């Protein structure tokens, strides 16, 4: 029983696979859909036409044969009546012989052989008992009681019957009956049985001829449809293949032009479009190469004068105490702008390396928690100046992954600096999570936020959501663009969510091992705004006694830095030691 069920399941699986294959074939081929639809419509139309024509032919043949049979039956009945009227039979034997003679004489009609029955009319009584006569007694039962009763009412009557043949097949037939008066014995009923075998054979021949003609017409229709669709679809298929080759970078691909019809015009137009695109792409590539070379050359060339200016600036900055306040402030501004100028040159060189495809990933097996803490520690001073909180939640289990620590830390620093810049003194939350495939870090602020349209451009180079907003941290405008390239270099993703007045959230997702294709992330991109567990009092981030409880949270380590309290400026270092003591690793 189990084996039978397994075979049935296997059969259902195979049937479902065949159905899916046919459905996929149907969806992927326009020629198959057009050909199948045309053949289906043609078959339905021919079937309906065949049924209509067959019914009309059958009805015509039957009506013609019925009229002929009725006319011939009436004439034969009259002839038999004339014989009976002129007969001089007076005894039972004479009447019996007369009935047999008339029956045999009427067997041959004008349209061929027929069976003749002479049966006593219902309700007739006679002093001379004479039985019925028939040319074939085995067929007498074909005369139904209803036909006998109708014939007794007067006039000629007929009925369709099925006549059995010697070879076991059944043939259609007609029974025609009418009353006759026989001497001595009274009223008899004379019936003629006609076979419609010849008409049936003629009808079958006509239907077979129609079926062959319909089959030939379907084949012709299918061939014509296939030829027409091939002439139409083949250039489209060729255009699709050439377009795919063009999309793959084979810009020299062209369609074959044959003739001068509409399809040839399509091919020529497509080739002209491809040539125009190739020229434009070539010009854009040349312009992009010149731009990259220009940026790289300018960045390299500016390094020498920048080094000289920095040396002079450092000398001036070191001696600023001897200057009057205005010159001293100028020296400090000069040093700040030199730092920003140097960062800008470094970012331009990094962008040029990404554009040229020369960026190299120096990956190693590292615990991402350490990289997060380094990035947070690098941002603590800025967060303290801006009056923001930094809340860090790390997993208790190691979050090891194959990463380039320098690039990942740069991404996290950019995200943290950007969050602090736009937090306007509100909290900045950093969360790390890990699963078997990926490690993810989210950086969330509760500041001004951004619209969906602004979020779509946040990774563009030199883009600013509010051009009037000053860069108090001295950003270059390339940080998020470089961060996105660093994430892609790892095979990961960098995504953003934001809403006006609700802040923004950036999520960095990296594969734990090289070659893993990301299908999800351990952390949600859209923040969970739900409150904490019901009945649980929130932990105070201004209370130093809350730190051990936060560190003891199940499944994670919480690091809270109150950067508005100078007395807790070294909380990250203390937390790192606490995590090491708890077994979380260095």
Provide the pLDDT for residue 434: 92
d(CA 372, CA 415): 11
Instruction: CATH 1.10.287.130 in the chain: give the residue spans.
Output: 257-359
Helix (H) or strand (E) holding 367: strand 364-367
Ranked by mean pLDDT, the top range of 202-216, 282-296, 544-558 is 202-216
The predicted-structure confidence for 108-130, as pLDDT tens digits, reads as follows 876 777 888 888 888 777 666 67
Token duo for residue 74: 């009436």
d(CA 118, CA 189): 6
Kindly report the length of the chain. 586
Backbone angles phi, psi at 72, to 5 degrees: -70, -40
Name the residue among 350, 429, 428, 356 with its Cα closest to residue 386. Answer: 428
Backbone angles phi, psi at 434, to 5 degrees: -145, 145
Contact 58, 201 (CB under 8 A): no
The predicted-structure confidence for 127-148, as pLDDT tens digits, reads as follows 666 778 888 888 888 888 888 8
CA atoms within 13 A on the CB side of 294: 6
d(CA 292, CA 304): 19
d(CA 562, CA 547): 11
Q: Would you call 281 helix, strand, or coil by DSSP?
A: helix
Judged on CB neighbours under 10 Å (0-12, 13-18, 19+), 254 is middle
Q: How far is CA 269 from the centre of its chain?
A: 31
- Return the HEC string of 29-49: CHHHHHHHHHHHHHHHHHHHH
Contact 120, 132 (CB under 8 A): yes
Query: Taking all residues of the chain, what is their mean pLDDT, rounded to a whole number?
Result: 78
Contact 480, 414 (CB under 8 A): yes
Q: Which CATH number fits domain 257-359: 3.40.50.1820, 3.40.190.10, 3.30.565.10, 1.10.287.130?
A: 1.10.287.130
Judged on CB neighbours under 10 Å (0-12, 13-18, 19+), 228 is middle
For residues 431 and 3, which has the higher predicted lDDT (pLDDT)? 431
Residue 29 has pLDDT above 90, yes or no: no
Contact 187, 179 (CB under 8 A): yes
Provide the pLDDT for residue 570: 38
pTM for this entry: 0.47
Provide the pLDDT for residue 561: 36
Confidence of residue 6 (pLDDT cuts 50, 70, 90): low
Name the residue among 177, 170, 229, 227 with its Cα closest to residue 200. Answer: 170
Q: What is the mean pLDDT of residues 219-232?
A: 83
* Least confident residue range of 342-351, 380-389, 398-407: 342-351
Provide the pLDDT for residue 4: 54
Provide the pLDDT for residue 475: 58
Fold (CATH) for 86-197: Beta-Lactamase (3.30.450)
Backbone angles phi, psi at 222, to 5 degrees: -65, -45
Contact 98, 182 (CB under 8 A): yes
The predicted-structure confidence for 451-496, as pLDDT tens digits, reads as follows 888 888 888 877 765 555 544 444 567 778 888 888 888 889 999 9
Q: How far is CA 284 from the centre of its chain?
A: 36
Instruction: CATH 3.30.565.10 in the chain: give the residue spans.
Output: 361-527+538-581
Residue 584 has pLDDT above 50, yes or no: no
Provide the pLDDT for residue 127: 64
Domain 361-527+538-581 has CATH 3.50.50.60: no
Residue 573 has pLDDT above 50, yes or no: no
Instruction: CATH 3.30.450 in the chain: give the residue spans.
Output: 86-197
Q: Would you call 255 helix, strand, or coil by DSSP?
A: coil
Ranked by mean pLDDT, the top range of 161-175, 344-358, 441-455, 542-556 is 441-455
Please report the sign of the dihedral spanned by the C-alpha atoms of residue 77, residue 78, residue 81, residue 86.
Answer: negative
């Amino acid at each position: 029983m189990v084996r039978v069920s397994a075979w049935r399941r296997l059969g259902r699986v195979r049937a479902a696979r065949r159905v899916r294959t046919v459905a996929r074939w149907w969806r992927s081929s326009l020629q198959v859909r057009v050909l199948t639809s045309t053949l289906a419509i043609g078959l339905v139309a021919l079937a309906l036409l065949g049924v209509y024509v067959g019914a009309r032919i059958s009805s015509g043949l039957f009506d013609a044969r019925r009229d002929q049979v009725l006319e011939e039956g009436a004439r034969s009945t009259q002839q038999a009546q004339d014989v009976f009227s002129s007969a001089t039979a007076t005894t039972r034997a004479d009447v019996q012989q007369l009935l047999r003679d008339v029956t045999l004489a009427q067997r041959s009609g004008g349209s061929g052989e027929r069976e003749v029955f002479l049966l006593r009319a219902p309700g007739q009584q006679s002093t001379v008992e004479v039985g019925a006569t028939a040319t074939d007694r085995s067929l007498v039962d074909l005369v139904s009681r209803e036909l006998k009763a109708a014939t007794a009412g007067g006039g000629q009557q007929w009925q369709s019957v099925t006549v059995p043949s010697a070879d076991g097949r059944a043939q259609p037939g007609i029974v025609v009956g009418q009353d006759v008066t026989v001497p001595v014995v009274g009223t008899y009923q004379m019936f003629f049985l006609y076979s419609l075998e010849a008409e049936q054979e003629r009808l079958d021949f006509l239907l077979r001829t129609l079926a062959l003609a319909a089959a030939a017409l379907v084949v012709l229709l299918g061939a014509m449809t296939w030829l027409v669709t091939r002439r139409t679809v083949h250039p489209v298929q060729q255009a699709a293949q050439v377009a795919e080759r063009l999309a793959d970078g084979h810009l020299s691909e062209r369609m074959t032009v044959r003739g001068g019809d509409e399809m040839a015009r399509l091919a020529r137009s497509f080739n002209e479009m491809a040539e125009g695109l190739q020229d434009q792409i070539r010009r854009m590539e040349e312009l992009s190469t010149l731009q990259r070379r220009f940026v790289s050359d300018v960045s390299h060339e500016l390094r020498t004068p920048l080094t000289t200016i920095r040396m002079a600036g450092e000398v001036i900055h070191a001696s600023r105490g001897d200057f009057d306040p205005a010159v001293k402030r100028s020296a400090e501004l000069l040093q700040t702008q030199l730092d920003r100028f140097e960062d800008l040159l470094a970012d331009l060189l990094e962008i040029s390396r990404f554009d040229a495809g020369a960026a190299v990933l120096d990956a190693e097996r590292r615990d991402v928690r350490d990289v997060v803490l380094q990035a947070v520690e690098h941002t603590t001073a800025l967060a303290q100046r801006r009056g923001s909180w930094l809340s860090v939640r790390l997993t208790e289990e190691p979050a090891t992954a194959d990463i380039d620590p320098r690039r990942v830390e740069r991404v996290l620093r950019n995200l943290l600096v950007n969050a602090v810049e736009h937090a306007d003194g509100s909290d900045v939350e950093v969360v790390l999570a890990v699963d078997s495939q990926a490690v993810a870090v989210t950086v969330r602020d509760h500041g001004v936020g951004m619209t969906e349209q602004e979020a779509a451009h946040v990774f563009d180079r030199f883009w600013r959501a509010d051009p009037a907003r000053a860069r108090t941290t001295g950003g270059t405008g390339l940080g998020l663009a470089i961060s996105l390239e660093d994430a892609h270099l790892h095979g990961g993703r960098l995504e953003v969510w934001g809403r006006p007045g609700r802040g923004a959230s950036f999520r960095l997702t990296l594969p734990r091992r090289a070659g893993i294709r990301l299908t999800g992330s351990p952390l949600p991109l859209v923040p969970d705004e739900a409150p904490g567990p019901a009945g649980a009092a929130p932990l105070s981030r201004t209370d130093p006694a809350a730190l051990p409880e936060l560190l003891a949270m199940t499944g994670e380590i919480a690091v809270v830095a109150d950067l508005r309290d100078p007395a807790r400026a070294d909380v990250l270092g203390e937390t790192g030691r606490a995590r090491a003591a708890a077994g979380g690793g260095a």
